Amino acid sequence: MEKKQSGTGNATGPATKEVSFLNRIDLSSPDIHQSVSLLKQACLDCGFFYVINHGMSEELMEEVFEQNKKFFELPLSEKMKVLRNEKHRGYTPLFDELLDPDNQVHGDYKEGYYIGVEVPEDDPKAEKPFYGPNVWPSDDILPGWRHTMEKYYLEALEVARAIVRIIALALDLEADFFDKPEILGQPLAFLRLLKYPGQISDPSNGLYGAGAHTDYGLITLLATDDVYGLQICKDKDAQPRVWEFIAPLKGAFIVNLGDMLERWSNCLFKSTLHRVLGNGQERYSIAYFVEPSYDCLVECLPTCKSEKNPPKFPPVIYGDYLGQRYKDTHIDLNVYNKLQS
């Protein structure tokens, strides 16, 4: 059951702030009915939950965080050598992304690095947006970095598939519903490494680590260090909005639902508004965005509509939706070309 309390404050946590305690879904539990019940409750309530005992080793998670930090500690000149390209692979500098233009004075105060599905340039799929080869830092500078990220990418996808099977059951579907080739058989999954420098956010002046937004795809798996920063707003229409911190949980994934699951479920399950506030400490996190395939047609599920509850959204091709969202929130690459020329 989710509950709230005031934080007492510590080296990495908030003082006198509301903290939202989430349901924990144990992927090692043999009691699938309990897992489905806990997950459904979380999806109906706030669209966020923890996943524990997920099968990814602590060693791998720690190694990814170490390698994450090593990259962002490189000089800016080195990071700019792997600048984000038109396929959304590579480094995103400070202010590259603007998620909440109505309330932000400039882009998010964070750095990032995108890694996607690896598709060779000569593969016909590479002609589509978001498909292509990844961009990697030189192995001379960061030995073993690519290997670690590729291993994490593949293992995180298996964790995601296990979670999505429970979601399918919670929606009264067959467990393998989302395993279809057009959904998670050939997904557009993105791994995004993130660093929030030690800025103190000031919402009253439009300064955020990450502006308020919802995620675009199916689900997101987030691994974080022990520094607080992530906040959720359960009711985006409330005035004023009420924001609650999500506590970091060592070894767990914080999982949230994306816009496509809200569409599939006809708003039964929530794609919840969230943001990141900096508290003066560096914060590292690793987001894994689980997206359907580019050509996937997302339309209301048969178990989520009726005569009295017709579909609330028209069908949409996921790649079209994703392309527009990225265009709306990221700096035009021509800006960087002008700066470097």
One DSSP character per residue, 38-107 reads HHHHHHHHTSEEEEES-S--HHHHHHHHHHHHHHHTS-HHHHGGGB--TTS-EEE-TT-B-S-TTT-SSS
Measured distance CA(156)–CA(221) in Å, rounded: 8
- Confidence band (pLDDT; 50, 70, 90) for 10? very low
Question: What phi and psi values does residue 297 have, to the nearest 5 degrees?
Answer: -90, 115
Provide the pLDDT for residue 339.
66
Query: Quick check: 323 and 217 in contact, CB under 8 A?
Result: no
Q: Specify the amino acid at residue 254.
A: I
Percent of the chain topping pLDDT 90: 83
Task: Pick the range with the lowest mean pLDDT from 6-10, 184-188, 259-263.
Answer: 6-10
Provide the pLDDT for residue 279.
94
Crossing angle of the two packed helices 58-72 and 145-170, in degrees rounded to 10: 120
| Sheet strands (E) in the chain | 3-8, 15-21, 24-26, 48-52, 90-92, 111-115, 190-196, 210-213, 219-224, 230-233, 244-246, 253-257, 273-276, 283-290, 297-298, 316-317
Question: pLDDT per residue over 153-207, tens digit each?
Answer: 999 999 999 999 999 999 999 999 999 988 988 899 999 999 999 999 999 999 9
- DSSP-assigned letters across all residues of 141-169: TSTTHHHHHHHHHHHHHHHHHHHHHHHHH
Measured distance CA(206)–CA(204) in Å, rounded: 6
Measured distance CA(206)–CA(183) in Å, rounded: 37
Question: pLDDT per residue over 70-109, tens digit each?
Answer: 999 999 999 999 999 999 999 999 999 999 999 999 999 9
Query: Quick check: 105 and 119 in contact, CB under 8 A?
Result: no
Question: pLDDT per residue over 214-233, tens digit each?
Answer: 999 999 999 999 999 999 99
pTM here is: 0.93
Mean pLDDT, the chain, rounded, equals 92
Task: Pick the range with the lowest mean pLDDT from 68-72, 146-150, 293-297.
Answer: 293-297
Percent of the chain topping pLDDT 70: 94
Provide the pLDDT for residue 11.
41
Question: pLDDT per residue over 314-339, tens digit each?
Answer: 999 999 999 999 899 998 888 887 66
Distance of CA 100 to the CA centre of its chain: 16
Query: Quick check: 243 and 160 in contact, CB under 8 A?
Result: no
Provide the pLDDT for residue 18.
86
Q: Residue 160: exposed, middle, or buried by beta-carbon count in 10 A (0-12, 13-18, 19+)?
A: buried
Measured distance CA(268)–CA(13) in Å, rounded: 32
